[in-house]
Amino acid sequence: MSDDNKQPGSDGNGPTGGGNPWMKSLLIWVGVLVTLALFVTMIDGRTSAAGGTTIPYSSFLDKVDEGTVKDVNISRDLISGTMTNGDKFRSYPIQDATLVPKLRSKGITIAAKPEEGPSMWMVLLYNSLPFLLMLGLAFFVIRQMQKSSGSGAMGFGKSRAKMLTQKEGKVTFDDVAGIDEAREELTEIVEFLKDPTKFARLGGKIPKGALLVGSPGTGKTLLARAIAGEAGVPFFTISGSDFVEMFVGVGASRVRDMFEQAKKSAPCIVFIDEIDAVGRHRGAGLGNGNDEREQTLNQLLVEMDGFEANEGIIIVAATNRPDVLDPALLRPGRFDRQVVVPRPDIEGRIKILEVHMKKVPLAPDVDARVIARGTPGFSGADLANLVNEAALMGARKGKRLVAMAEFEEAKDKVMMGAERRSMVMTEDEKRMTAYHEAGHAIVALHEPASDPIHKATIIPRGRALGMVMRLPERDSYSYHRDKMYANLAVSMGGRVAEEIIFGYDKVSSGASGDIQYATGLARDMVTKWGMSDKVGPVEYAQPEGESFLGYSSSQPVRMSNATAQLIDDEIKGIVEGGLSRAKHVLTENVDQLHLLAGALLDYETLSGDEIKKLIAGEDLGRPDPSAPKSSVPRAGTSIPKTRRPAGPFGNPAPAGA
Report the alpha-carbon distance of residue 155 to residue 234 in Å, rounded: 22
* Residue 581 in this model has a pLDDT that exceeds 70: yes
93 labelled binding-site residue: no
Q: What is the rounded average pLDDT for all residues in the chain?
A: 76
Q: Which residues of 172-186 are buried (b: 16+ CB within 10 A; e: fewer)?
A: ebebbbbbeebbebb
The lowest-confidence range among 341-355, 471-485, 551-565 is 551-565
If you average pLDDT over residues 258-277, what whole number do you get? 82
Report the alpha-carbon distance of residue 489 to residue 215 in Å, rounded: 32
Please choose, from the candidates 278, 178, 167, the residue with its C-alpha nearest in 3D space to the C-alpha of residue 228.
Answer: 167
Q: Is 61 helix (H, G, I), strand (E, B) or coil?
A: helix
Identity at 290, one-letter amino acid code: N
Q: Does the annotation count 473 as an active-site position?
A: no
Q: Is 169 helix (H, G, I), strand (E, B) or coil?
A: coil
* Residue 165 in this model has a pLDDT that exceeds 70: no
Q: Which of 408, 437, 498, 610 is catalytic?
A: 437
Question: pLDDT per residue over 299-329, tens digit each?
Answer: 888 888 766 666 778 888 888 888 888 888 8
Report the alpha-carbon distance of residue 81 to residue 101 in Å, rounded: 17
454 labelled binding-site residue: no
User: Residue 654's pLDDT is what?
Assistant: 34
Please choose, from the candidates 394, 395, 400, 391, the residue with its C-alpha nearest in 3D space to the C-alpha of residue 356.
Answer: 391
216 labelled binding-site residue: yes
Report the alpha-carbon distance of residue 609 to residue 591 in Å, rounded: 19
User: Residue 156's pLDDT is what?
Assistant: 47
* Residue 232 in this model has a pLDDT that exceeds 80: no
CATH architecture of 427-650: Up-down Bundle (1.20)
3-state secondary structure 283-332: CCCCCCCCCHHHHHHHHHHHHHCCCCCCCCEEEEEEECCHHHECHHHHCC
If you average pLDDT over residues 78-93, what whole number do you get? 84
215 labelled binding-site residue: yes
The lowest-confidence range among 407-416, 434-443, 539-548 is 539-548
218 labelled binding-site residue: yes
Please choose, from the candidates 631, 518, 28, 1, the residue with its C-alpha nearest in 3D space to the C-alpha of residue 265.
Answer: 1
User: Residue 187's pLDDT is what?
Assistant: 79
The lowest-confidence range among 106-110, 292-296, 546-550 is 546-550
Report the alpha-carbon distance of residue 104 to residue 71 in Å, rounded: 11
CATH architecture of 346-416: Orthogonal Bundle (1.10)
Backbone angles phi, psi at 559, to 5 degrees: -150, 155
* Residue 607 in this model has a pLDDT that exceeds 80: yes
14 labelled binding-site residue: no
The lowest-confidence range among 3-12, 151-160, 435-444, 565-574 is 3-12
- Which numeric CATH code is attached to 51-112? 3.30.720.210
Measured CA angle at 498 (ends 492, 501), to 5 deg: 130
Q: What is the reported pTM?
A: 0.58
Specify the CATH superfamily of domain 162-340.
P-loop containing nucleotide triphosphate hydrolases (3.40.50.300)
- What's the helix, strand, coil split of the chain in %, to 5? 50, 10, 40
440 labelled binding-site residue: yes
Report the alpha-carbon distance of residue 337 to residue 186 in Å, rounded: 10
Sequence spans of domains, the chain = 3-42+120-149, 51-112, 162-340, 346-416, 427-650
The lowest-confidence range among 80-94, 354-368, 587-601 is 80-94
